[in-house]
Homo-oligomer: A and B are copies of this chain.
Amino acid sequence: MAEEVILLDVLLSMFGARVRIALAEKEVKYENKEQNLSDKSPLLLEMNPIHKKIPVLIHNGKPVCESLIIVEYIDNVWQRKAPLLPTDPYQRSQARFWADFVDKKLYVAGNKVLTITTKGEEQETAKKEFLDTLKMLEAELGDKPYFGGESFGFVDIALVGFYSWFHAYETFGNFSVEAECPKLIAWAKRCMEKESVSKSLPDQKTVYEYVVQVRKKFGIE
């Protein structure tokens, strides 16, 4: 069957990156339609009328929204190559738990770091929350090469897109992730050796410059 796969995406998004990586792992060909979130396209509004957000995967005309749900969908549909979620129910639940943790905690903590307006206490609180979250992830990783064990999978995909944002987090939070979480940086570099990851992620300088622009726009020093 001829498949039509379209991704509504924004290059700098760590959520979009998850879908790009999953599709690359599965070697699925698709058309990427970069979106402008300041002026949302009729296609985006039609395909994701509820949240009006990217990424949206449109598979043979039918939309799937929310990045982790899309990655699970990709894993279900293109089963033959590169399984992303473990088959064991307990391991599956743990993978879902940590991917959900990234969404609930890391993303929120990261945004606080990026919107720091004053040095001093605010910066210290945001920095501590962000690094504590990364340390929990590092503890979960332990000495394994990937979160699921020997092979790259669901939690790696959920987290690695944040690596592109590390230079921005580090600059505005005034810390070094490598000094605090060396194993996590080693893991990120291991992931970046995979073409599915390195070709899907924007570089750290580009993300940093984007954050500088956004901070200016919102009048943050």
A65-B97, A73-B92 given. 10 additional CB < 8 A pairs? Answer: A59-B90, A62-B90, A66-B96, A66-B97, A66-B100, A69-B96, A73-B93, A76-B89, A76-B92, A77-B89
Any B CB within 8 A of the CB of A129: no
A-B contact pairs, 15 of them (CB 8 A): A50-B101, A64-B90, A64-B93, A64-B97, A65-B97, A66-B96, A66-B100, A69-B93, A69-B97, A72-B92, A72-B93, A72-B96, A73-B89, A73-B92, A76-B92
Number of copies: 2
Interface size on A, residues (CB 8 A): 22
A70 pairs with B93, CB closer than 8 A = yes
Any B CB within 8 A of the CB of A186: no
Query: What residues of chain B lie closer than 8 Å to A73, measured between beta carbons?
Result: 89-90, 92-93
